[in-house]
Amino acid sequence: MATVELVGGTSKKQNWKALSIAFIVIAIVCLFIAAAIFVTRTRQTSSPHSPIPLSEQDIFNIKIPKPWNGTWISDTYFSFMDTNDSIWIYNCDTLQEELLFKRNVIQQESIGEGVVSPSARYILVPKREEKKHRYYTEYYYVLYEKSKKIAPIGLSDGQLVPLSAVLYSNSDNYFAFIHNFDVYIYDIARATSSRVTLDGNREKVHNGLIEWVYE
């Protein structure tokens, strides 16, 4: 009795056949990609409102911008730091910017963002980082009038302490800060601070701070 071979070709021939089909498919896909890139690069936009075509450089040479660090100091101005960690203000009415403080004035690397008063007269510059918590960071601050150093910030007895959650009032004369979980008000004209709360405690009461006490 004659034996009939049911499988067409050997296993090796079948493998070569599958590989050939795969190579053909890959070649077709590559041709489509090359054609799409060519059409995109050579197509001219018909109007200013037409979409801008993408190139391979747009895809593979993406530069991630630094996050925006601006802070509103009034209805018209916001302050921000540039790539050299100098502090600027921007006037939204005139669309003009002004340099307030150069980082090289204090001759140190940036450790945090400065706090600018509402009229941009004063700047609180962080000089040294004391402790970084989950929701806030404590710094030692120095008060500047533009680039002129006024005084380091401390308590009424002259003790220099780390501050957190610094916030100016609606004027340039006062700002609030937190020290040891209590709220203080600093009078710039008198160069003194006044304690507002007395019950601050790490385990129970965190005045003026966003923090999970029992976390």
Which structure tokens are listed for 108?
């140190």
Ranked by mean pLDDT, the top range of 36-40, 66-70, 155-159 is 155-159
Condensed to tens digits (0 to 9), the pLDDT of residues 154-192 reads 888 888 888 888 989 888 899 999 998 899 999 999 889
Give residue 76's pLDDT.
Answer: 92
- Least confident range from 22-26, 34-38, 51-55: namely 51-55
Give residue 215's pLDDT.
Answer: 45
Nearest to 73 by CA among 167, 210, 157, 156: 167
**Left if phi > 0, otherwise alpha if psi is -120 to 50, otherwise beta: which for 45?**
beta
What are the CB-based long-range contacts (under 8 Å, 24+) for 151-159?
151/191, 152/127, 153/124, 153/177, 153/186, 153/193, 154/193, 155/179, 155/184, 155/193, 156/192, 156/193, 156/194, 156/195
Q: Are 190 and 139 in contact (CB under 8 A)?
A: no
